[in-house]
Structure 1
Amino acid sequence: MLECLAKEGLLEKKGERYVNSRIAQTHLCKNSSLPMLNFLKKHFYDLEIWLNLAEIAKKGAVEVKRENLFSKLVIHAMAEHAMMGELQWAVETVAQYEEFRRARKMLDLGGGHGLYSVAFTQLNPNLEAVVFDLPEVVEKAKHYCKSSARVRFMSGDFFKDEIGGGYDFIFSSCNPAGKNSAMFPKICNALNSGGIYANKQFFWDDCSLDLLDLEWNLWNFGIEKGEKRFTFKGDLSLDEYLKELEKHDFEILGIHSYGDQKMIVARKTK
């Protein structure tokens, strides 16, 4: 077993002894500087669902309680994954815009762990952020944001509840509302004229289905999904979303790519 782990790069052999490799020490130990244990736990959770494939094929997707899934597992996995470069790329990209540097109040819509808000407030010393998410998720987010005095929290369901107003900057990342046209009125009403909206999502236009898309549809949590992973019923394509932004008086400032994700940065003109 030790030889196999060494071959995979998780251990190093020194004489007759085996020690953790750099990648294992960095990501796979309890005291790791950038732990990925919850990220791996989420992957094992997904893999275990495959064991029920025959049952799912007959009776439909496994139903999961949303409050348990997000607050106990997904939020922690997403936080660890974000720290591996995605978060740094997003905040540095948005920070290039003058509108962000002038912003004083931010909404992190469906903000989950809140680490984006922490990073944005560090880059803009005059910015205060509001993380909006489900009550049980917000309680977990407070742990990740406890070192930032300029990040506060608002609990609710963005499909049903008000999201506040007077924001100069709204950020949305990989959440079920991210490509849904029903959210545009709320976003427009909440954002000040001249403010910017940065939306980072997976747009799978013209992509064929694969096994990861099947895995996405093996389980459900109360919101009807689309066929492609990280998509939901009613999601717009990238072109449709851009047209909808323009209909709601947004000017597209930039479209940025990170792997399979696109981040649209748009300014409200009225």
Structure 2
Amino acid sequence: MNVPELLQLSSSYWNTCTLHAGVKLDIFSHLADKPMTTANLAEIIVADERGLEMLLHGLTALDLLQKEGDSFKCTEFSASYLAKSSESYMGHIIMHHHYLVEGWSHLDEAVLRGGPVRKSSSHGTGEKERESFLMGMFNLASLIAPRIAAQIDLKGRHRLLDLAGGPGTYAIHFCKVNPDLKAVVYDLPTTRPFAEQTVQRFGLSERIAFSAGDILSDDLGTGFDVVWISHLLHSESPANSSAIVDKAVKALNPGGLLLIQEFILHDDKAAPLFPTLFSLNMLIGTQSGQAYSQQEITTIMAGAGLADIRRLQLDLANGAGVMVGTAAN
């Protein structure tokens, strides 16, 4: 790294905050269908013209808007992913990232105290923050769930438990790929409306049910051929992660599969970059969460009595990986 790169790294949050402001003010939804002048848009969103024009110029410089004369409009990309009218809208996950910014500004305090400086986003401090988290997870999962579901062989498996499944994205795509599969999405009661609406949107309400409860203290049920745990363990301590995996294994039929997706660290924990930073995100927002290495996940799975533990050969972004193990017969 050189000095210019160091300074660019230090100020890169300027770009991030400009994007977040554009999404929070819903700029892209208004400019997706037709160009508008700053004055026209300022009247609609009740904004100061001078401040809004600065933001519009910043978004243009980021290649998220186009300027023609005195008017601004979305690019093809921003209309597809940042306008609420688009089926590919990614604004929920961007707003989730926005709600994380304040906590990250206190990372030094989290390091000194060894604990969180904000509330967990999954519980949130308000309805908007909780919705951004849950539907943000839907945004992210929608990008990769179809590919993962297509590459994992669940032939002959009939019941799947999507543990802490949020809006049910993975249950949906596993069921789409496997016509004989039925699923249960297990999560907190506050998640039910988001999950049921999402499942209904895909026309799978007859095959995917929702079960409400606390993963650590409540019963998960039994008789499942597959348990899918996606991006849950990182929010918990090693002891709680082991307890969750133990309960998941007890929910499996003999010979059933446990699948765990996480951002997986190398065994020395110094790479890849995203899981190392994600571990800090857990420090900021959870009591004992962290990213785990492949060896740590393997140890947890073996301790629960699983056999044939391995990492599936899937090409996933951000250091993500899927571990699989088989319950004893």
Q: If the TM-score is normalised by the length of the shorter chain, which range does it land in?
A: 0.7 to 0.9
Whole-Å separation in 1 of the counterparts to 2:197 and 2:212:
15
SS at 2:221 equivalent: coil
Whole-Å separation in 2 of the counterparts to 1:161 and 1:239:
28
Structure-2 change in CA distance of 1:119 and 1:58 (3 Å): closer
Q: Deviations over 1:120-140 (max 9, x none)?
A: 111111111000011112232
Structure-2 change in CA distance of 1:57 and 1:119 (3 Å): closer
Alignment of 1:85-96 (within 5 A): 85-94=143-152
Whole-Å separation in 1 of the counterparts to 2:89 and 2:223:
37
Which residue number in structure 2 is paired with residue 124 of structure 1?
178
SS at 2:101 equivalent: helix
SS at 1:170 equivalent: strand
Gaps of 5+ in 1: none
Alignment of 1:161-172 (within 5 A): 161-172=218-229
1:239 equivalent in alignment to 2:301: no
Q: CA RMSD in A?
A: 2.8
SS at 1:35 equivalent: coil
1:111 equivalent in alignment to 2:168: no
Contact kept in structure 2, 1:26 and 1:35, CA below 8 Å: yes
Whole-Å separation in 1 of the counterparts to 2:278 and 2:309:
31
Which residue number in structure 2 is paired with residue 225 of structure 1?
289
Structure-2 change in CA distance of 1:254 and 1:55 (3 Å): closer
User: Which is greater in Rg?
Assistant: 2
Alpha-carbon distance, 1:215 to partner: 4.4
Gaps of 5+ in 2: 1-53
| Structure 2 letter corresponding to 1:241 | I
Alpha-carbon distance, 1:244 to partner: 4.5
Which residue number in structure 2 is paired with residue 102 of structure 1?
156
Whole-Å separation in 2 of the counterparts to 1:71 and 1:107:
23
Percent of matched pairs sharing the same residue:
26
Q: Which moved more, 1:244-253 or 1:140-149?
A: 244-253
Contact kept in structure 2, 1:200 and 1:261, CA below 8 Å: yes
Whole-Å separation in 2 of the counterparts to 1:76 and 1:170:
22
Alpha-carbon distance, 1:32 to partner: 1.6
Match of 1:197 among 237, 251, 258: 258
Whole-Å separation in 2 of the counterparts to 1:87 and 1:184:
21
The higher-RCO structure (CA 8 Å, 6+ apart) is 1
| Structure 1 letter corresponding to 2:75 | S
Q: Which moved more, 1:185-194 or 1:47-56?
A: 47-56
Contact kept in structure 1, 2:60 and 2:67, CA below 8 Å: yes
| Structure 2 letter corresponding to 1:176 | L
TM-score (norm 2): 0.68
| Structure 1 letter corresponding to 2:167 | H
| Structure 1 letter corresponding to 2:177 | L
SS at 2:131 equivalent: helix
Alpha-carbon distance, 1:150 to partner: 0.6
